[in-house]
Amino acid sequence: MIKSIILAAGKGTRMKSDMPKVLHTIFDKTLVGYVIDAVNNTGLADENFVIVGHQAERVEEFINKNYDNAKCVLQSPQLGTGHAVSMALPYLKDFDGEVVILCGDTPLITSETIKEFVEYHREKKSDLTVMSAIFDNPTNYGRIIRNQDGSLNSIVEEKDAKPEQKMVKEINAGIYCINWQKIKPAFNELTSNNAQGEYYLTDIIKWGNEKHLSVNAYTLKNNEEIFGINSKAHLAEATRMLNNRVIKKHLENGVQIIDPASTWISPETEIEADTIIYPSCYINGKNKIGKHCKIGPFAHLRGDVVLEDYVKIGNFVEVKKTTIKSHTNACHLTYLGDSEIGSNVNIGAGTITANYNPLTKVKSKTVIEDNVKIGSNSVLVAPVTIEEGANVGAVGVITKNIPAWSLAITRSPLKVLENWVKKHLDL
């Protein structure tokens, strides 16, 4: 098993936010969360160390709440990437295996790439492997300088590079795999004798070569995976790239997406073949959508939604924490939250499951059993159960359970006042 060290101490001033950079979200999932999940999903890692600094308490609270196999380690003050990694030394004193070092602001990295990276490291019998990438325009990146045998000689920062070195298009991607016991001594020997007065992680390469260790570079196949977030513009671009990746996967798996450019689908959503997603839908969080469903246009699935086969979610329908069984229709302008809905149900336009009590701040469940018909503009005030086959008349406000095969009507009888308009207008 491997361990990871994830660098997440930076302030991220270019984000212009009072929130730590790594806690910004894409599809409601944090940047650092994407990185931790990518490591965990390799099946290789049993422990992650997250190096925190700026607003450490907020980052640590998030990590402790969401990840059992992650531990936060404080870096204070922040004296560079090499110094950040050295903060983990006391926790890995006796560890004799591989450590992968990653950045907490690269949410597009995949578990497949990390796994392949580690496998490359092992195949090369490397002591230290750096991930690299080929850029047509490598400006502002450290250049990968290789030896004639392809091994890694050094990483040269652009400001220090000679003219011929600036022509190199292979750059440092900032991800490392190291044999911990072999490389660990390097972190006690790093110096801050440079323009920034910081301890650079890249200096371990020079140290490794001086010790005649095996030092190599693995070339990344998809450069998008190392896209780092330093601004809100970067955040928007990363969201677009991630969404494009998800859209492509669903199209290849037989999902029909009418307008990919206006459709947003979280990576945690599963969709089966022959389902149609109409334009301007936003599908967020973890959802499971069956076959032959129709979603939208302008529908919003907010997470924890399960749609069985042949479910129709209409125009401007919002659904969250709800299971809907097969052959059920939810017509336009409807809100369904915290609900269990059966098969062959028709939910009329404008229906609302009133699941939240603002006084008690408690959310309750609505249950709609099979073959139920809900009239338009009805409000179902949870907790409430509409039993099998029951009908709810239009404009109904349902505050108690409705027995099977019953008709529930809550509106007052219609009254017609003849000549009322004429009388009030003195006609």
Pull the structure tokens for residue 340: 């269990």
Is-contact 352 333, C-beta < 8 A?
no
Is-contact 270 289, C-beta < 8 A?
yes
Only one residue has tokens 């990344």, namely 220
* CA 208 vs CA 5, 84, 189, 216: distances in Å: 19, 19, 11, 10
Is-contact 84 17, C-beta < 8 A?
no
Is-contact 207 188, C-beta < 8 A?
no
Is-contact 50 36, C-beta < 8 A?
yes
Helices (H), 41-134: 56-66, 81-86, 111-123
| Catalytically annotated residues | 332
A 10 A CB-CB count for 400 gives: 9
Question: Distance (Å, rounded) from C-alpha 245 to C-alpha 240?
Answer: 9
Is-contact 377 350, C-beta < 8 A?
yes
Instruction: DSSP letter for 406, please.
Output: -
* CA 306 vs CA 339, 341, 365: distances in Å: 11, 10, 15
In which element (H, E) is residue 173 found? strand 170-179
Strand segments, DSSP code E, in 300-369 are 300-301, 305-307, 312-313, 318-324, 329-330, 335-341, 346-347, 352-354, 356-357, 362-363, 366-368
Question: Distance (Å, rounded) from C-alpha 56 to C-alpha 8?
Answer: 9
Question: Distance (Å, rounded) from C-alpha 198 to C-alpha 190?
Answer: 9
Pull the structure tokens for residue 300: 């919003």
Helix 56-66 / helix 31-40 crossing angle, nearest 10 deg: 40
Question: Distance (Å, rounded) from C-alpha 315 to C-alpha 317?
Answer: 6
